[in-house]
Each structure stands twice: as structure tokens, then as C-alpha cells.
Amino acid sequence: MRAFVQLMALAALAALSPAQAQAPTGKVTVLTSFSKDVTDPFKKAFEAAHPGTTVEIQNRNTNAGVKLLEETRSVNQVDIFWASAPDAFEVLKGKKLLQLYKPKAAGIPAKIGAYPINDPDGYYSGFAASGYGIMWNERYAKANKLPDPKEWQDLAKPVYFDHVSIAAPSRSGTTHLTIETILQGEGWDKGWRTIKEWSGNLRNVTERSFGVPDAVNSGQVGYGIVIDFFAFSAQGAGFPVKFVYPTVTTIVPANVGIVANPPNKATAEAFVEYLLSPAGQEVLLDKGIRRLPVRPETYAKAPADYPNPFKDPSLGGKVTFDSGLSSARTAVVDTLYDQLVTFQLDGLKAATKAIHAAEAALAKKDNAAGRAALKEARDLVAKMPVTAEQAASPEIRAAFTGGKEKSARQAELEQQWAASAKAAYAAAEAKANEAAKLAR
């Protein structure tokens, strides 16, 4: 099969006249985190628009994709890197694994929401936009008589205890952006407080991005914190799910970039141009894809109720996402979430449950001392082992990269953070129980 394809490619090359040598032809290899539902329609459309080309899809999650390009730098076989998280592209750019290419396509605005669509240095381009939000299963909500959430903070309410799911930010580029967006939108301390408050209601933390919409679709979990197209494409597939964008969300572009030293440069460029062309943008409206196009005119062809960030100023306008800050502390934020939430979920949930119970007790019979104890319990949960300044400090960053300035090894830091969280959650649970007693 493979040999046959190569033969065909050779034959196609031989048949070309020299004048056409620049026309896209042959195999273009695309490394992507996107699912088959996204890649197949684009593959078909591109191959139809450029006869003689084949799109070869390699599917990997974003982190694994970045690692593959790093490990295989000397013998690169990949033309295109195609994924959501702008962070990953920043990392690739920093490692000089991307090729400079400014697309010729015109008519694409500079910004979507508050976020620049293209890399200012020209190493990668946004081809679709996505926002983060909450999706839920209507049947599940109805069976458990749960209200519809609107904001992140809503998920922290006692009714949602044990009903929410999220992918670990260390595992999912999209959740990482969600966490980072909340931290940038609300500030380090307040942001972490919000995050931990709703994290106390989590049913589980999955290790795959798609694990969350999958669990919501099948009704194993009621609510999921996901990127919008997971919900839209699930609706497209007929699942009884809904989705909402909270106010603090960011609309960020999903990107495409040409890998440094591509085996087939001409076709790689054609692929990028196609994604940005009006025809390519329309493919985004396919019911298995459902992403927000970066061309404003494409929305005219979208189904009713399709969110339009160019028209709806509330979408992603509130936070200006600073990707420099984000990439400087990526490892620290992810590790903090893992050590304080993912691996301490039982302790956090026990504390949260006790806080909910104390709150209910105080609502029935108010008591000042009880209120004070409850506040203490909440503060204990929200307590962070490091400040924003420390998180971005060279000492801590070096612990993760193995640099010289490190004050402690990564494993030591993790153990410290985990131990402090464990103690704080146990203390919070005790305080909350105390508050509940006072209200009796």
C-alpha cells in the first residue's frame, strides 16, 4: 500500500511539466491532536481541491506530538503541526521546530475577542477559534434535579457536589488554558480559590481531554469543563448535552504551523492556505467539527444559534490572555493542580463536603462563631503553598527544568506541596465540622 502510494506520487511527479513544479503535489504529513471527525472532512476537501495530493494524518495528543517532533528533529518526516493549544506552538517556536510562513490569505482580522489570531512572529496561524466553558447532560441534570450553571463559581455550589468532571491540566492543553484563563482573569490567589472551590465538587479528574465529554455524553458524570467544540460536536452527534460560556472565558485560536525542514514544503503551504481560505473555513461548520471560523463572513453560512465572537462582545472580551506569562509558569501551574487537586482529591472533597454541611447548618441557625470557623475552613482550602511571584521565579522553574538555580528538586517540591495540601484539607474539614457543631 505504502509502496504503491509512493509509486503513484513518483508517477505524478514525473508527469508534471517543469512549469508546474511549484504546484502542490504528493504527500503532506500532518501531525495533529484533532480527532478523525475533524481531520477526515479537511483531508477530503483538501485532496479534492488539489488533485494529486494526499494528506497523511498522524494522530497524537498535543504533548506527545511536541515530544515526537523534538525526538525526531534530525530526521523530520512531518510537514504540518495542527493542534489547539497556542502554548504548544509557543514551545515549538522556542525550540526552533517551526518554519516561518506568513499566509497569503486575506480578510482575516487581527484579533478574535482579545486574542491575536496569528503569531506576531509569523511561525503559526490561527485557523479556528474556541472558548472554554461548561457542558452538561440534560437527562442527568433532570434526573438529579440540578439547575443550569452559568459561571465557574456556580459549579462550586453544594448542589453540584460529586457531579463535575475535568481533565488534568497537565494532560490536556485545553484545560491548562482554562485554568490559566481563570488565574489571569481573577488573579493568582482569588483564581486558585475559585478553582479549588469547584474542584472540591469534582467527581473525577481524567487524564485525557476527551475523557470528560465522553463521560458527560454517556451520562456517567453530569457536568464537564471542556472546550466548546466537544459540546457542539456531541450535539451534532445527537447527544442530549448543553453548553455555556462563562463570563471569564477566553476565545483562543486553534493553530496550524509548518514544521521546520518539511519534507514537502509546497504542499504544506497549500494546506495552510486552504485552511484559511473561505472554502476551508466552511468545513469548520461541519456537524462533527463545529468550531468557530476566523473569517467573519463564514458565520453567514452557520446554523442558527452558532456563537459568533465577532458579533457577540461578551465572548472572551473580558480577559486578555498573556501567553508569555502562561508559558513561563506552565509546569508550575500544572504540577500545583496535580499535587493540590488531582492527587489529593479525596481530602479536598471531604473538606468541601464538610464545608457544604456547615454552611447548610448555619443557614438554618446562624451563629457568629460558626461563621468565623467556616471562613477559616474556606481559607485553609484556598491556601496556596507558593505565591504568583514564586511560581514564576527562576528558583522554582529551575527545579522543573533541571537548571542550576534550583533550590530543590522537582520531586521534593511536589512532596512539600502535597503534604501541605493534605494537612490543610484535613484542618479545613475539622474546622468546618466545628462550625457545624456551633450551629447546632
Residues 348-377 that bind another protein (CB under 8 A): none
Minimum CB distance to another protein smaller for 113 or for 347? 347
According to CB under 8 A, which one of 23, 37, 261, 385 is a site residue for another protein? 37
**Residue 224 backbone class (left: φ over 0; alpha: ψ -120 to 50; beta: rest):** beta
Asked if 20 interacts with another protein (CB under 8 A), we say no
Taking the complex as a whole, the smallest distance from the CB of residue 361 to another protein amounts, in Å, to: 26
Q: Of the ranges 15-23, 59-67, 187-195, 428-436, which one interacts with another protein (CB under 8 A)? A: 59-67
DSSP, res 288 = T
How far apart CA 347 and CA 370 sit, in angstroms, is 22
According to CB under 8 A, which one of 77, 247, 261, 308 is a site residue for another protein? 77
Minimum CB distance to another protein smaller for 290 or for 383? 290
Asked if 13 interacts with another protein (CB under 8 A), we say no
DSSP 209-252: TTHHHHHHHHTSSSEEEEEHHHHHHHHHTT--EEEE--SS---E
Taking the complex as a whole, the smallest distance from the CB of residue 206 to another protein amounts, in Å, to: 6
Taking the complex as a whole, the smallest distance from the CB of residue 114 to another protein amounts, in Å, to: 28
Footprint of another protein on 91-120 (CB under 8 A):
none
User: Per-residue b/e over 131-165, b at no fewer than 16 CB within 10 Å?
Assistant: bbbbbbbeebbeeeebeebebbebbbeeebbebbb
Asked if 18 interacts with another protein (CB under 8 A), we say no
Asked if 47 interacts with another protein (CB under 8 A), we say no
Question: Quick check: 82 and 256 in contact, CB under 8 A?
Answer: yes
DSSP 107-154: ---SEETTEESS-TTSS-EEEEEE-EEEEEEHHHHHHTT-PPP-SGGG
Taking the complex as a whole, the smallest distance from the CB of residue 159 to another protein amounts, in Å, to: 17
Taking the complex as a whole, the smallest distance from the CB of residue 106 to another protein amounts, in Å, to: 32
Taking the complex as a whole, the smallest distance from the CB of residue 334 to another protein amounts, in Å, to: 7
In the shown chain, the binding pattern of residues 287 to 326 toward another protein, with x for contact by CB under 8 A and - for none, equals -x--------------------------------------
By CB atoms closer than 10 A (0-12, 13-18, 19+), residue 226 is buried
Which of 6, 56, 49 lies closest to 28 in space, CA to CA?
Answer: 56
Asked if 137 interacts with another protein (CB under 8 A), we say yes
Asked if 5 interacts with another protein (CB under 8 A), we say yes
Length of the chain in residues, anyone? 440
Question: Quick check: 340 and 386 in contact, CB under 8 A?
Answer: no
Hey, which residues does 226 pair with through a beta bridge? 133
Asked if 395 interacts with another protein (CB under 8 A), we say no
Question: Quick check: 266 and 94 in contact, CB under 8 A?
Answer: no
Which of 183, 180, 171, 244 lies closest to 211 in space, CA to CA?
Answer: 171
How far apart CA 107 and CA 70 sit, in angstroms, is 34
Asked if 342 interacts with another protein (CB under 8 A), we say yes
C-alpha of 369 from chain center: 42
Hey, which residues does 54 pair with through a beta bridge? 27
Asked if 240 interacts with another protein (CB under 8 A), we say yes
Taking the complex as a whole, the smallest distance from the CB of residue 375 to another protein amounts, in Å, to: 29
Which of 385, 371, 380 lies closest to 350 in space, CA to CA?
Answer: 380
Taking the complex as a whole, the smallest distance from the CB of residue 113 to another protein amounts, in Å, to: 25
Q: Of the ranges 55-63, 272-280, 306-314, 351-359, which one interacts with another protein (CB under 8 A)? A: 55-63
Please give the helix or strand (H or E) that residue 399 lies within, else none: helix 394-401
Taking the complex as a whole, the smallest distance from the CB of residue 427 to another protein amounts, in Å, to: 17
Footprint of another protein on 197-236 (CB under 8 A):
204-208, 210-211, 213-215, 217-220, 230, 233-234, 236
By CB atoms closer than 10 A (0-12, 13-18, 19+), residue 125 is buried
Asked if 67 interacts with another protein (CB under 8 A), we say yes
According to CB under 8 A, which one of 331, 350, 392, 430 is a site residue for another protein? 331
Footprint of another protein on 155-194 (CB under 8 A):
168, 170-171
CA distances from 34 to 65, 119, 169, 242, 296 (A): 11, 20, 18, 22, 23
According to CB under 8 A, which one of 74, 311, 324, 368 is a site residue for another protein? 74
Taking the complex as a whole, the smallest distance from the CB of residue 332 to another protein amounts, in Å, to: 12
According to CB under 8 A, which one of 29, 118, 181, 323 is a site residue for another protein? 29
Asked if 139 interacts with another protein (CB under 8 A), we say yes
Taking the complex as a whole, the smallest distance from the CB of residue 397 to another protein amounts, in Å, to: 12
According to CB under 8 A, which one of 239, 243, 245, 271 is a site residue for another protein? 239
